[in-house]
Structure 1
Amino acid sequence: MNTVLTAGADAFGARESLAASGHPMIRLGSQGESVGECQSKLNRVDARLMRDAGSGLDNCPLRVDAIFGPRTRAAVVSFQKFAFPFQPAEWDGVVGPHTWAALDVHAATKPKGQIAPSALTPSRWGPLLAAAASSGVALRDGNAVRTLIDGRETFEEMVSDIRLAQGDGDYIYLLGWDISDDFNMIPGDAATTVRALLSAASARNVQIRVILWAKPPGANFLTVRFVNTLPNGAAIRDDLTANNHPMSEIDLVKEMVTGGVDGAAAAVLAAIAARDPVALTGAHHQKVLVIKRGETLLAYCGGLDINRNRLEPVSPSTGDPQHDVHCRIVGPAAWDLLQTFIMRWRHHPDGAKLDAGAKGPLRGVGERLPAPIPTPPAVADKDAPFGGVTSVMIGRTFNPVRSFPGAPPVLKERDIQKLVLAGIRNAQRFLYIEDQYLIDLDVADTINRVLPQIAHVTILIPGNAITEPTFMTEYRRDFMERALRGLSQADAAKLRVFQLSRSQTVPTFGPHCYVHAKTWVIDDELAIIGSANCNRRGYQHDSEVDAFMFGTTAGRGAVNSLAQAYRIRLWREHLGLPATALVDGVKNADNWLKGIRPATARVIEFDHRLPATKWQAVRDKAAEALRKFIDPVP
């Protein structure tokens, strides 16, 4: 499948063209075989919802009479609200390609965690992702993907690719949240600092363009200034973020007073929040590196910052070097990450000024969409180490700020949240999550609904003692309580949360215990790697980018998908077991549990419960008063 809905296309026209290639579009007044098929599938969805949730679709079960009347339309709208909960534009009662795709999936028999690894079907995620995404987001087939775990592996790949950019048409584009430009990305090699690598590339006539967040109070300033001194370099320090205005702190105090917090306490809480200026404004949190070298376009995205704390124990008491993940993509989806950089460049007024300067405009603007990589062995094992080509969808969170007169239009984007929730809702076997925060209540509610029908949800987070910001303990408790609400004891036991630890008896946070990753593996079929944490900030407020990836492997023994191979690598790192003991994401998940996990494991259970004390009640009130600012929506 290669579903591509281009940005700016008329949404209705796109639906019509897709409908023509599959099911016909049907609506009120339609008659015929397709209407009967739709009615039958609505009835099957209704029966499953009644069984699993106790409530079904409006006006179901329907009489299968092949006539699209008012009752059928009401049932369709009810289904669309279930299948697309955050997309009211889809609740139109018209059965087009998105609704047909969702019907096909939700009406199918849904096994409960009994799928054997050899029977994985990653391709089922094509229509599911396409149905959940907005019309400007493309599903790109034919990519070579390499999943990267931790700093050493990631930086070695980045250095190699940067050095291969050689010619007049080549370029290196970097989007960053925070950067250290003076450490050796390959230990012992002084030529692998960011400054050394970019200086050498610029001398080869490679175009260097960099956008870094204007992280308060002055982070990234020196790097931006350095890049602008390069003969072929230009850089922007980007402070155009949601809620970034001088009144932010005053607004915070007003909000808390309105919420019932007295003036003195409000002032104290404002001071707490002001320690982290992000809590009052917002951040550009995307971490993207795009490289054009010869005929090859490739890109990186994920959670890793180019920072020495991914390699060295800068602050070992807080878990450095941090555990993190990234991915490297060769193929059409790299072009979507290139467009992410171009959009950010055009969004800032300095982009136009720099384009008009002596160093010239972005070379990447005219880049053609790469052709899909056909099948192995057409790709190098280095590029696709799991032996197969991969389908990738790039989702973003972005809040445009009209920064100057005549600025090109930039769309508000919320696709990461839509796609993550669609992934949870359509899980058939299990969810595996690694996240820095784990506090989004929409995710908690969706996990709550899906837990009865899957085998387990296994989550890895950093311990409360080494996690910022303030009140993370309260927000994580709220997440867990929402995820467990109303479940039977058996279903509640399926939710398993762990933290990295140097000890299996008490939480001990030494080197490599801080989980900075933002990644999901669903059913060993879909892998998600990106910068968005599981919080409202990541899904609605800050600038983020995630890659949603699925594909089969070729000739790799018991491993049948990219997601499965990736999950096995993560579990090997945390549990210290060989790959052969971790092939089955359901049966082998018990290796995480106390009393079963091996002595080589570096994990311990996370307890979300907090004491019921007067002091805790005060903290609870303060946490709720600050929630909008610590975990905001714009």
Structure 2
Amino acid sequence: MKKLLHGVLFATIYEIDRLHVGFGLPFSRQGVDDPIRTWKTLLYKVKGCCACDPKLMKFRLYTTIDLDKARVARTTVVDTPSNPKWSQSFRINCAHEVSDIIFTIKDENPVSATLIGRAYLSVSEVMNGSPVERWLRIVDEKHKTIHSRIHVKVQFFDVTRDPFWSKGIQTPQFGGVPFTFFNQRQGCKVSLYQDAHVANDFIPKFSLSENKFYEPQRCWEDIFEAIINAKYLIYIAGWSVYTKITLIRDPHRPKRSEFANLTLGEILKKKAEENNMRVLVLVWDDVTSKQWLHQLFGQSFGLMGTHDEDTIGYFTDSKVQCLRCPRVPAGGRSMIQGVESSTLFTHHQKTVVVDHENLSGKREIVSFVGGIDLCDGRYDTQEHSLFRTLNTVHVEDFHQPNFAGASVKKGGPREPWHDIHCRLEGPVAWDVLYNFEQRWKKQVGEQFLYSIDELDQRVTSPLDVASTEDDESWNVQIFRSIDSGSVVGFPLNPQKAAQCHLITDKASVIDRSIHDGYVNAIRRAKNFIYIENQYFIGSSYGWKPEDKDGSLPEEDVGALHLIPKELSLKIVSKIMAGERFSVYVVIPMWPEGVPESGVVQEILYYQRRTMEMMYTDIAEAIQLKQLNAHPRDYLSFFCLGNREILRSGEYIPEEKPEPDSNYIRAQLHRRFMIYVHAKMMIVDDEYIIIGSANINQRSMDGGRDTEIAMGAFQPQHISATHPAKGQIFGFRMALWYEHLREVHDSFMYPEKLECMQEINKIAEQNWKIYSDELFDQDLPSHLLRYPVEVTSFGHVTSLSEAEQFFPDTKACILGTKSKDPPIPSLLTT
């Protein structure tokens, strides 16, 4: 019988006794689960014997921990087949409805792995929280013994035993997320940014605590000032860094520097010429942009449009040290997995680290972290215009990758860009610096970096810049998704790695703290959660089967992170307790790219499966409590869009888009989505996570895309006794004003049904105006209902028979599964 295992599972795998294997095969014939793979393994081992190659003759055994079919942990690989020993412990966040905790023993091969056997521990034995230590018999696929046992210890702590469960941040002394590589830092300063720029007249004044008002900050202006005023170091890491962009573009704001009209590349070259200045740039090495591919196939690849080849070429023979950084797989990967890592996964962090003069005249480290790359297509304001900036700030920066052949010559709509970023000052800024140093040293060693001694001579120590006495100070913690293939300094010994709160998975050492930061914050939440993210896919182990479409079984999709399930379980727990809780999620209308393409459609398909799992959980709780409610009263998804009437003086394109194309239809209807690229979560207006990580397996895994994020709160502005009204509250209100252009009293209390219904009403009205064939005014505001229907049972369907496709396209809103050829789920999840 299945039971909900929601909380933390502590597990130790000690050893196996009397394991009988021959040529890497199970001792029992019934243990053979794949005859073709088994014969390949046999031939491989025989080849090793004939060649007397010890590497090929070795047995390389490891054990995984599976919650039914979801793998949640994996040991190192040992080569002592008769009595393998690990003594390896794991701390596992879980949110799984399962019948068994399964220990699966495998023999690793260069291409794949051979199943040796499995041992089962009934989940009912651990539900009371007592430790269970025993020898479990190992059986084959038909549950027949292979005459071996595995020694394990397991203890489960239910989420309700967590002292912070649903209680929020109870005191200013809250210590941050436990069991992470970076500790929380006190006495910091944080600036929050919405979009690359904020116009002067954007926002009404929102009242904060202590008679203060929220003042929006300007991201690219602040980054520009930080770079030009740096004296010793400028360290930049990006998915993309494009040298031709300009950071200062607003004609209504004064340009206070001779650098203002220069491109980013020109600024960095000039700064690198200054005495004692080190300008270091890390850009992801996109393998599809190689020049030899262009020469071989006669066309430009660069599928991701990162400009990495151009950026490297631009800085050649300059004093800027620019490094193209490949996504090198960590140890413990098969040959196929190694190729997958280097071709499918990216370096996705976006950081800028500089030295900066503080108010006392001393220099300190300042860092920027978030979702905005310093590249083309990112500059935007809260207007998110489609057509009206094509002859001004976007004349040299037209970005529209959703239409084939789009260009400024053919006119709009451009793709507007909504994003979130932050600036970190104080001790936490040094953690971002350390992350950059770890990555740089992995690629080229110590060369060009300032040493610790050199930094001590030039900038103030992190201990001396903390300002805990300030009522507006922040406590901030850095999280990452990264592995030992991308950084130096991770201990290879599993016990030492565990002491650093890192995960050892075969030969790879992983920092998965972004995922843990999200899970911890969701479990703490007591009233509401507000999310903006570029993707929303996960918890595939909880998806309902869909045999009719012939798609991958849920357990093979591999989007195993917990975030969607944690959100739905949080709502369910509140419903069962008779309390309100609201979750708002803003995502793009579709992932960037041609919406009918196989990759985009598959992502939308997995997104719909994720939504449906969550809504089904909520619907079942509503029915169980016999409430007169709908799942969307607790969880609502939104997207952003814009629609503009034609104004005199607008840019007139030289050419026309192709007839009967998405491009011409969008141009005639003068509408398009605003691309949501943000990666942010706000909890109860007291805690915020901002970073580069999407809500998908690629970003949360730790062994796939490399990511960085921060989690932060203001100790003097928590919601322990009354609603928090610090900077996080002001930031949320500013974001909602950007999206809604209205301020309602209900917005002060997002958890209340009145607020959820008001926002859904505005979003539905906007969707009607956006999707109608005719219109005679600008779209009043940008927030749109995500165009799906949710039944009272939690099923996700089309809004209507006539609304199965996104406006101006032939792209299915619910997505479709790619079958011919199939697309690797590693790419799309």
Unaligned runs of at least 5 residues, structure 1: 1-48, 50-55, 62-70, 76-89, 112-119, 253-277, 378-386
Partner deviation per Cα, 1:475-501 (whole Å, 9 max, x = no partner):
111110111123235362211001102
Separation (CA, whole Å) in 2 of partners of 1:145 and 1:464? 31
Correspondences of 1:290-305 after superposition (within 5 Å): 290-294=353-357, 295-305=363-373
- Residue matched to 2:267: 197
AA at the equivalent of 1:336: D
Rounded Cα–Cα distance in structure 2 between residues aligned with 1:464 and 1:306: 23
Among 184, 195, 207, the residue aligned to 2:246: 184
- Checking the alignment, whether the CA contact within 8 Å between 1:572 and 1:578 is kept in structure 2 is yes
1:211 is aligned to 282
Q: Which residue of 2 aligns with 1:315?
A: 399
- Provide the TM-score with structure 2 as the length reference: 0.52
Aligned to 2:784: 604
| Offset from partner CA, 1:419-447 (integer Å, 9 cap, x none) | 11121222111111111111122222111
The alpha-carbon distance between structure 1 residues 210 and 91, as it changes in their structure 2 partners (threshold 3 A), is farther
Do the aligned residues in 2 keep the contact of 1:184 with 1:192 (CA within 8 Å)? yes
Give the Å deviation of 1:315.
3.0
Report which of the two has the higher share of strand. Answer: 2
Note if contact 1:302-1:518 (Cα within 8 Å) is conserved in structure 2: yes
Kept after mapping to 2: 8 A contact 1:424/1:450: yes
Q: Which amino acid aligns with 1:451?
A: I
Deviation (angstroms), 1:467 = 5.5
CA change 1:343–1:59 in 2 (3 A) is closer
SS of aligned partner of 1:173: strand
1:129 alignment partner in structure 2: 177
Other structure's SS at 1:457 match: strand
Specify the code of the residue in structure 2 equivalent to 1:105: F
- The counterpart of 1:520, out of the listed 661, 672, 681, is 681
Cα distance in 1 for residues equivalent to 2:697 and 2:821: 14
Q: What is the aligned partner in structure 2 of residue 45 from structure 1?
A: none
**Cα RMSD (Å):** 4.4
Larger radius of gyration: 2
1:317 and 1:483, CA in 2 relative to 1: closer, same or farther beyond 3 A?
Answer: same
Distance in 1 (CA, whole Å) between partners of 2:321 and 2:781 is 46
Q: What SS does the aligned partner of 2:737 have?
A: helix
Alpha-carbon shift at residue 415 of structure 1 (Å): 0.7
CA distance in 1, matches of 2:453, 2:437: 10
- Structure 2 counterpart of 1:551, from 714, 734, 748: 714
Distance 2:159 2:565 in 1: 25
Q: Give the C-alpha shift of residue 544 in structure 1.
A: 0.2
**What SS does structure 1 have at the residue aligned with 2:735?**
helix
| Percent identity between the two aligned chains | 21
* 1:333 alignment partner, one of 418, 428, 434: 428
Deviations 1:17-37 (A, max 9, x none): xxxxxxxxxxxxxxxxxxxxx
3-state DSSP class of the match of 1:341?
helix
In the alignment, structure 1 residue 390 sits paired with structure 2 residue 570? no
1:592 aligns with: 759
User: What number of residue pairs does the alignment pair up?
Assistant: 491
| Aligned partners of 1:299 and 1:337 also within 8 Å | yes
Post-superposition CA distance 1:154-189 (Å, at most 9, x none): 1101011112213xxx21101110121112110177
- Indicate if the aligned counterparts of 2:685 and 2:723 stay in contact, CA closer than 8 A: no
* CA displacement, residues 224-257 of structure 1 (integer Å, 9 cap, x when unaligned): 34445333x31211013338999759988xxxxx
Contact 2:684 2:724 in 1 (8 A): no
Partner Cα separation in structure 1 for residue 512 and residue 238 of structure 2 = 20
Residue of structure 2 equivalent to 1:477:
608
SS of 1:622's partner is coil
Residue 538 of structure 2: which of 440, 454, 472 is its match? 440
Unpaired runs of at least 5, structure 2? 1-96, 98-122, 134-151, 198-217, 291-306, 358-362, 380-393, 403-413, 493-507, 540-561, 575-579, 623-628, 645-664, 767-779, 789-795, 805-810
Distance in 2 of aligned mates of 1:57 and 1:122: 33
The answer on whether the counterparts of 2:569 and 2:617 sit within 8 Å (CA) in structure 1 is no
The answer to whether structure 1 residue 420 and structure 2 residue 518 are counterparts is yes
Structure 2 residue 163 is the aligned partner of structure 1 residue 104: yes
Instruction: Please list the CA deviations of residues 432-475 of structure 1 after superposition, one character each: whole Å capped at 9, or x if unmatched.
Output: 11111111222221112111315211110110275574312101
Distance 1:60 1:502, change over 3 A: closer
Given the alignment, which residue of 587, 593, 606 partners 1:461?
587
Residue 147 (structure 1) shift:
0.4
Instruction: Return the TM-score normalized by structure 1.
Output: 0.67
Aligned mate of 1:497, from 637, 648, 651:
637
Residues 533 and 676, structure 2, Cα contact 8 Å, conserved in 1: yes
Is the partner of 1:582 in helix, strand or coil?
helix
* Change beyond 3 A, Cα 1:596–1:538: closer
One-letter code aligned to 1:138 = N
In structure 2, C-alpha distance between the alignment counterparts of 1:629 and 1:364, rounded to whole Å: 42
CA distance in 2, matches of 1:399, 1:601: 42
> Structure 1 residue 304: deviation in Å?
0.2
Equivalent of 2:618 in 480, 483, 487: 487
The alignment partner of 1:208 has SS state of strand
Contact 1:171 1:363 in 2 (8 A): no
Q: 1:156 to 1:150 in 2, by over 3 A?
A: same
Q: Secondary structure of 1:105's match?
A: coil
In 2 relative to 1, CA 524–74 (structure 1 residues): closer, same or farther, beyond 3 Å?
Answer: farther
Aligned to 1:236: 323
Q: Residue 247 of structure 2: SS of its match in structure 1?
A: coil
Aligned mate of 2:191, from 142, 146, 163: 146
Measured in 2, the distance between the counterparts of 1:246 and 1:229 equals 38
What residue number does 1:373 align with? 466
Q: SS where residue 197 of structure 1 aligns? A: helix
SS in 1 for 2:189: strand
In the alignment, structure 1 residue 161 sits paired with structure 2 residue 226: yes
Quote how far apart the aligned CAs of 1:558 are: 8.3
CA distance, structure 2, for counterparts of residue 403 and residue 424 of structure 1: 29
Query: For 1:240 and 1:195, how far apart are their aligned partners in 2?
Result: 24
The residue correspondences of 1:37-48 to structure 2 (distance < 5 A) are none
